[in-house]
Amino acid sequence: MLSNSSILITGGTGSFGHTFVPMTLAKYSPRRLVIYSRDEMKQWEMAKLYGDDERVRFFIGDVRDKDRLSRALNGIDYVVHAAATKIVPTAEYNPFECVKTNVFGAMNLIDAAIDQGVKRVVALSTDKASSPANLYGATKLTSDKLFIAGNSYAGNNDTRFAVVRYGNVMGSRGSVIPFFINLANKGVLPITDTRMTRFMITLEQGVDLVWHAFEDMVGGEIYVKKIPSMKMTDVANAVAPLASHDIIGIRPGEKLHEQMIGPEDAPHTYEYDKHYKVLPAIHNWSLDPARINGGTLVSPDFTYCSDNNSEWMSVATLQAWIEKNRDYIGKI
């Protein structure tokens, strides 16, 4: 599907883009892969990695700017929407800016994609969008709902939208692992609550899920990968085994445990070997055999939370991953 196509990724100079672009070039060799983002310096630095590769293009623009976005989508077949204001405390203290990017940006992309005849759009979401407790999660839940509704909003147009939902992306900029690594030499790591747990996913797993969504989607699905959980105290012990822990309390907008699928989604959620799929409740799409595609309906009281997960990552496993990826952690 993606082979010899034109692909655009919004927010493409971020951690996900730095992994999605080389993996997609290697596997699918698209005709054109456009990185759309608003930071010219990040684009300049990223462009150096691809030299004279004519498949890779850079387009300065902001998802808040509908006209610029529409221009960028001209001739594009597939879109990955990764642009977001995502740091929880930043969103809490800058709510208007968060809404402009995460909500208005989603609306702009939906309109522009339909108008330009884009075939499929996959939007990146977060576990914080399920029963949100902070502004970032609330804006991403709104964004998810917009992309799901975009499939009926498109009318007779062929543009289709789906969502992929992630947990904590291991090693990405602004995430907990590089944060702990930067503090490890001080001998003390801040822990908000000793009970706190999080889902853990690698960037490569995230890219695989996006690829699968493009291949599988009919429109309106939320894809949730089965991934391990980890206690934050274990993450700290993996990074700095000898460091002490300073209990600082939960920050504004934080949850004790994250949730990918809540009980309100259970009646529309189907299980597969490596992932779950939440189908849209509107238009009885959750009963559509093409969308179900061999899945098994979960139990009515099903939830998928970081504290009730059946799969847990060990300290040794995380330590091995850190050693293997140390040169890249926090740098992309």
Q: Does residue 170 contact residue 229 with C-beta atoms inside 8 Å?
A: no
Q: Tell me how far apart the alpha carbons of residues 51 and 104 are, in angstroms, rounded to a whole number.
A: 34
Which residues lie below 8 Å from residue 322, measured CB to CB, with a gap of 6+? 171, 177, 181, 238, 239, 329
Nearest Cα neighbor of 7 from 36, 43, 32, 25 is 32
Residue of 42, 86, 128, 277 with catalytic role: 128
Whether 255 sits among the annotated catalytic residues: the reply is: no
Residue 145's identity, in one-letter code, is K
Other residues' Cβ atoms within 10 Å of the Cβ of residue 44: 11
Helix or strand holding residue 120 (H, E)? strand 120-126
Sign of CA dihedral 84, 90, 92, 98: negative
The Cα–Cα gap between 159 and 222 comes to 16
Pick the closest to residue 169 from 116, 129, 207 (CA basis): 207
Question: Which DSSP letter does residue 102 get?
Answer: I
Alpha helices in 48-134 (DSSP H): 66-72, 88-93, 95-99, 105-115
Active site residues: 128
